[in-house]
Amino acid sequence: MKILVALSGGVDSAVSAKILKDAGYEIEGCYMKLHGRDDYHAKNIEKVQDVGNFLEIKTHILDLCDDFKREVFEPFLQTYKVGKTPNPCALCNRTIKFGKFLDFARSKGCDKIATGHYAKIENNLIKSAVDLSKDQSYFLANIEPRVIPNIVFPLGNMLKKDVKKFAASFPELEKISKSSESNEICFVENTYIDVLREFYKTETPGIVRNLQGEIVGKHNGYMNFTVGKRRGFDVFGAHEPHYVVKIDAKKNEIVVGSKADLDKNEFETQNFNTFLNIDEILKMDEIYVKIRYRSVKIACKIEISLNDNLNNESLTDKNLNFENSDFLNNQDLKAKIILKTPANGVASGQLAVFYDKSDHVIASGFIA
C-alpha cells in the first residue's frame, strides 16, 4: 500500500511518517503551501526535506494557496464581517487537507493519505484520540464521510509526550522534537484582529446595548468581539462583569449581559454533516455535542430537517424513513439541538460536533 503523508515540518507529521515507514508501507511526503507567508514556508520546507532525507522518501511541495484563499481564507473574513465566529480549520480539513490533498495523492498513485492529527478511525468513523488533551476529532468532523476509508491517523493511540520522546530517540528528529507547537490557525501570526485589519476598518466606534435595548456603553468596532468576550468595551458605571451576548454587524453594535445570559438550552445548525445513516442517529439513546474545541461534551437531542429551499418538514422516525437517505448531502440538512444542560457562549458560525457514547464522531453542523 502506498501512502502520501502530509508533512508540516512539525514533530507530529514526522513521527507519523516514521511509524508508517517502519510498518512497511511505501510512503511519500508532501508539504502543503496554504498562504503567502514565505518565511513561514521556507523554514518548514527545510524541515520537511530533512525528514524526507532521513526516511529516504520522496517529498513534494503542493501549492494550494489559491484554493485555500477561496475555500478557507475568504470565508474566514466574510464570517467575521457579518458578526459571526468562523472555524477556518474545519473548512480547511474538508476542502483542502482531506479534499485537494487527497486528489493530489491519487494523482501520484497513492491508496491513502496520512496526517499527524490526534484522532482515530474505528468502524469507518472518526473517534477521539487516546490523548484527550490533544484530541483533534472536533476539527475533523466537517470532512466528507466518503473519504474516511482513505485516511490513516498513526498517532491516534499515542500520547503527545510519547510522540516527542519517540522523535528524540533519533538524532535526525531530535531538533524537531523540541520545536514549539504551531499556531492553531496557520495564517494568523499574532491575533485574528491583526489579519482583519489588513482588509477592514476594524476600529470603528459603536454603541453597547443591554438586552432591553438601552444604550449602556461604547466600543471601538464590532469585529474586535466574539460572543462570550468580556473585555475591550466600556459599560457606563458597571460594577460587575458584562459579556458579549450578541453582535449586530450592520449597525456596528454589540449587546451585553451577565454570564448567565450566555446560557442556551437549544440552538440550530446548518450544513448538517452526517457520518451515519440519519435514521441511526435519530434512534440513538445517547448523543453528546461539543460547541467549541475545548468545551465539555453536553448530552443533547437532535431534530433534523431539510433546509428551507427543499421543504420545512421535520425528519423523525415517525414521519419519514431515512434508511435510503444517501441522496442527501450536508447542504440539504439543518438541525435543532436541544441540550440536557445549558451551554455557555454558543456562537453563530462555530462548529457543533456530535459524538456517540463511545466517542465516535457521528455528525457536525455550523451553528446558525
Residues with a catalytic annotation lie at 92, 186
Q: Which residues of 91-100 are buried (b: 16+ CB within 10 A; e: fewer)?
A: bbbbbbbbbb
Query: Residue 288: which H helix or E strand, with range?
Result: strand 288-290
Rounded to an integer, what distance in angstroms lies between the CA atom of residue 25 and that of residue 1?
Answer: 6
Q: Are 206 and 253 in contact (CB under 8 A)?
A: yes
Q: Can you give the length of the chain in residues?
A: 368
Q: Which amino acid is at 328?
A: L
268 burial (CB, 10 Å; 0-12 / 13-18 / 19+) is middle
Look at residues 102, 105, 134 and name the one whose alpha carbon lies nearest to residue 119: 134
**What is the per-residue DSSP string for 68-88?**
HIIIIIHHHHHHHHTT----H
Q: Are 83 and 247 in contact (CB under 8 A)?
A: yes
Q: Are 221 and 206 in contact (CB under 8 A)?
A: yes
